[in-house]
Amino acid sequence: MEDKKKSKGRMLLLVLMPLLILGVYVLRLYDWQILNGASWLAKADNSTQTIVTMEAARGEILDCNGNPLAVNKTSYSVVFNWLYMKQETYEETIKTENATILSLIKLLDKEGVEWLDTLPITIDENGSYQFKEDSEREINTLKGKDYADVNSYATADICMENLIKKYEVEGYSKEETRDIVSVRYNMVKEQFDTSSPYTFAEDIPLDLVTVISENSSKLPGVTVEVTTSREYYDTSLIPQIVGQMGKISSQEEYEELKDKGYSYDSLLGKSGIEEAYEDILRGKAGEKMVETTSTGQLASETVTKAPEAGNTIYLTIDSDLQRVANASLEKNIKATRENGEALCEQNYKGSDSGWGEDCWAGGAVVLDVKTGGVLAAGSAPGYDSVRAQEDSSYYASLLEQEGNPLVNKAFSGAFTPGSCFKPVVACAALEEGCITNSTVITCRRKYDRFENDNYHTCLGYHGPITLRTALAKSCNIFFYETGYRLGIDALDLYCQRFGLGVKTGVETGESAGILAGPDTKDGVWRDGDTLNAAIGQSDYAFTPLQLATMAATIANDGTRLKTTVIKQITDYTRTDVIQEITPTVADTVEVSKENIGYVKEGMEAVVTEGTAQTSLGNYPVKVVGKTGTAQTNGSDNVVFVGYAPADNPEIAVAVVLDHGATSSYCQNVVIDLLNAYFYDATVDEDGNITMPKQESAGNSSSSSSEE
Q: How far apart are CA 357 and CA 346, in angstroms?
A: 13
Q: What's the CA dihedral at 171, 172, 173, 177 to 10 degrees?
A: -120
Q: Assess contact for 261 and 272: CB atoms under 8 A.
A: no
Candidate from 122-136, 372-386, 644-658 with smallest mean pLDDT: 122-136
Residues 6+ apart with CB under 8 A from 170: 164
Give 341's pLDDT tier (boundaries 50, 70, 90). very high
Mean pLDDT across the stretch 137-156? 91
pLDDT (average), residues 429-456: 95
Question: Which superfamily is assigned to 49-116+194-315 in CATH?
Answer: Penicillin-binding protein 2a (Domain 2) (3.90.1310.10)
**What is the overall mean pLDDT for the chain?**
89
Q: CB-based contacts of 277: which residues, under 8 Å, 6+ apart?
A: 59, 269, 313, 507, 566
pLDDT exceeds cutoff 90 at 227: no
- Greater pLDDT, 70 or 304: 70
pLDDT of 4 reads 54
Closest of 624, 672, 628 to residue 652, by C-alpha: 624
Candidate from 36-50, 188-202, 256-270 with smallest mean pLDDT = 36-50
Tell me, what's the pLDDT at 22?
63
Lowest model confidence (mean pLDDT) among 45-59, 307-321, 330-344: 45-59
Q: Which of 15-24, 59-68, 296-305, 394-403 has the lowest mean pLDDT?
A: 15-24
Q: Where are the domains of the chain?
A: 49-116+194-315, 319-389+406-690
Q: Where are the alpha helices (DSSP H) in 487-622?
A: 488-497, 527-534, 544-555, 593-608, 613-616
Highest mean pLDDT among 136-150, 173-187, 204-218, 541-555: 541-555
Name the E strands within 165-280: 198-201, 222-232, 245-247, 267-269
d(CA 441, CA 501) in angstroms, rounded, equals: 29
Residue 40's pLDDT is 46
Predicted local distance difference test score (pLDDT) of residue 439: 97
Q: What is the pLDDT of residue 43?
A: 47
* 221 — pLDDT class (breaks 50, 70, 90): confident
For residue range 90-116, list pLDDT tens digits in order: 677 788 888 999 999 999 998 899 999
Segment 308-335 shows an average pLDDT of 97
- Rounded distance between C-alpha atoms, residue 97 and residue 418, angstroms: 67
Of residues 82, 98, 110, the one with CA closest to residue 176: 98
Measure the CA–CA gap between 326 and 329, rounded to whole angstroms: 5
- Which residues, including other chains, have CB under 8 Å from residue 618's CB and lie 6 or more apart? 697
Judged against a pLDDT cut of 80, whether residue 9 lies above it is answered with: no
Q: Is 672 exposed, middle or buried (0-12, 13-18, 19+ CB in 10 A)?
A: buried
The pLDDT value recorded for residue 25 is: 57
pLDDT at 380 over 90: yes
Taking the C-alpha atoms of residue 357 and residue 336, their distance in angstroms, rounded to an integer, is 7
Quick one: pLDDT band at residue 85, thresholds 50, 70, 90?
Answer: low
pLDDT of 701 reads 45
Confirm if 148 and 162 have CB atoms less than 8 A apart.
yes
pLDDT digits (tens, 9 = 90+) for 432-445: 999 999 999 999 99
**Residues pairing with 378 in the sheet:** 364
| C-alpha 132: how far from chain center | 30
Judge contact between 435 and 485, C-beta under 8 A: yes
Q: Which helix (H) or strand (E) holds 62?
A: strand 61-62
Per-residue pLDDT at 193 exceeds 70:
yes
User: What pLDDT sits at residue 705?
Assistant: 42
- pLDDT(37) > 60: no
Mean pLDDT of 272-276: 96
Q: Assign 256 a pLDDT band (cuts: 50, 70, 90).
A: confident
pLDDT > 70: percent of the chain: 87
pLDDT at 93: 75
d(CA 431, CA 60) in angstroms, rounded, equals 47
Neighbours of 111 (CB within 10 A): 13
DSSP letters along 318-339, please? -HHHHHHHHHHHHHHHHHHHHH
Could you tell me which of 65, 36, 34, 108 has the C-alpha nearest to residue 574?
A: 65
Q: How far apart are CA 601 and CA 468, in angstroms?
A: 7
Task: Please determine, looking at this structure, whether the domain spanning 319-389+406-690 carries the CATH number 3.40.710.10.
Answer: yes
Stated as kind and residue range, the H or E segment containing 110 is helix 90-111
pLDDT of residue 87: 59
Three-state DSSP class for 113? coil
Cβ(586)–Cβ(499) below 8 Å: yes
User: How sure is the predictor about 178, in pLDDT bands with cuts at 50, 70 and 90?
Assistant: very high
Q: What is the pLDDT of residue 527?
A: 94
pLDDT score, position 50:
67
What value does the mean pLDDT take over residues 245-264?
Answer: 84
Q: Note the pLDDT tens digit of each residue in 396-406.
A: 999 999 999 99
CA-to-CA distance for 104 and 80, rounded, in angstroms? 10
Contact assessment for residue 363 and residue 413, using Cβ atoms and an 8 Å cutoff: yes
Where is pLDDT greater, at 16 or 64? 64
Tell me which of 255-259, 330-334, 480-484 is least confident.
Answer: 255-259
pLDDT above 80 for 13: no
d(CA 646, CA 697): 17
Least confident of 255-269, 504-518, 602-616: 255-269
Q: What is the mean pLDDT of the segment spanning 583-598?
A: 97
Instruction: For residue 3, name the pLDDT band (cuts at 50, 70, 90).
Output: low
What mean pLDDT comes out for the span 282-306? 69
Angle at 705 between CA 612 and CA 664, to 5 degrees: 80
Residue 300 has, within 13 A of its CA and on its CB side, a CA count of 7
- Work out the average pLDDT over 207-221: 85
Residue 299 pLDDT: 61
Q: Is 608 exposed, middle or buried (0-12, 13-18, 19+ CB in 10 A)?
A: middle
* Distance between first and last Cα of the chain: 120
Cβ pair 356, 338 in contact under 8 A: no
Per-residue confidence band for 47, with pLDDT thresholds at 50, 70 and 90: low
Instruction: Give the per-residue pLDDT at 704.
Output: 40
Of 19, 671, 659, 640, nearest in space to 344 by CA = 659
The predicted pLDDT at position 703 comes to 40
Residues in the chain: 707
User: Would the pLDDT of 130 be above 60?
Assistant: yes
Confidence bin at 261 (pLDDT 50/70/90): confident
More reliable by pLDDT, 399 or 3: 399
**CA distances, 171 to each of 121, 237, 391 (Å):** 20, 51, 35
DSSP state of 569: E
- Average pLDDT over every residue of 322-338: 97
CA distance to 459, 532, 534, per residue, from 456 (Å): 10, 8, 11
pLDDT at 226: 82
The proportion of the chain whose per-residue pLDDT surpasses 90, expressed as a percent, equals 67
